[in-house]
Homo-oligomer: A and B are copies of this chain.
Amino acid sequence: MDDRLVGAVGVELSLVTVDLAIFTIRGGELVVLLVERGTEPFAGKAALPGGRVRAHETLDAGARRELQEETSVSPDRLHLEQLGAYGAPGRDPRGRVITVAYLALGPDLPVPRGGTDAVHAYWGRVEGLLENPGNLAFDHDHIVADALERVRGEFEYTTVATAFCPEVFTLTELRRVYERVWGRSLDPSNFRRKATKADGFVEATGQQRPQAAGRPAALYRRGPARLLSPPFLRTADRQ
């Protein structure tokens, strides 16, 4: 699989792309945005959305542009961070392609539009993808697995969990985000105690939201802190 790219110019140049692992929670499940590839390689297979980095944009800007194109949601409502670079030779049969993977987190996002180039886009269950690897094009299985590990770890030490929540939310909603991502149930009372005590994690709005049944829940918004102190450790305990 020699690279015609390389021959073209003489030195080892690479195509650089960004790929996005866009996570949200829908119907109580952690899901990731996938697109069905319309062209070779891997035509018909599912893949993470992404595209080429343009000549005059930063990597972050490229990721943000792709994010906008794929989700039609204002990207400043989403949390976006770089996950890392993936560049195994052979990850793309066309030749040397380096991709910079980004991780995006957002509140329950709309069903994606077709996208500008009318590729079919949909939400895929993260758990299902990781149980049966091989369903994604390129090394996107690997990227999704790394992204999930990253999110799980960051939930312990950062406040990014609020990125999965809308502007205002209840502590039960925030707890469920943790439970979904960590795949473990948490004690509601203890969670509440820690979330409200942690410095700048959540702020009470003073508002309430009536429930379908039961006592109305107090509403919160995210606080200014980006790091959780004290952290929320997921001790390796009972189920």
- Residues of chain A having any CB pair with chain B under 8 Å: 1-6, 8-9, 11-17, 39-41, 50-59, 82, 84-89, 94-96, 98, 100, 117, 153, 156-157, 229-231, 233, 235-236
Q: Across the interface, do A16 and B87 meet the contact criterion of CB distance under 8 Å?
A: yes
The quantity of this chain's copies bound in the complex is: 2
A6, B55: Cβ atoms closer than 8 Å: yes
**Besides the contacts A1-B52, A4-B6, A13-B16, what 9 more A-B pairs have beta carbons closer than 8 Å?**
A6-B94, A11-B52, A12-B15, A57-B89, A59-B86, A59-B87, A84-B84, A85-B85, A157-B157
The answer on a CB contact under 8 Å between B88 and A39 is no
Are A56 and B89 also in contact (CB < 8 A) when A5-B5, A6-B5 are?
yes
Q: Is the CB of A15 within 8 A of B11?
A: yes
**Most B CB atoms within 10 A — which of A13, A52, A88, A229?**
A13
Question: 3 tightest CB-CB pairs across the interface, nearest first?
Answer: A1-B51, A13-B13, A8-B8
Tell me if A14 and B12 are in contact (CB < 8 A).
Answer: no
Alpha-carbon distance A84/B84, docked complex (angstroms): 5
Report chain B residues within 8 Å CB of A13: 5, 9, 13-16
Query: Which of B16, B17, B96 makes the CB contact (< 8 A) with A55?
Result: B96
CA distance A85 to B101 in the complex (A): 9
A117 touches B52 (CB 8 A): no
| Bound Cα distance from A4 to B89, whole angstroms | 19
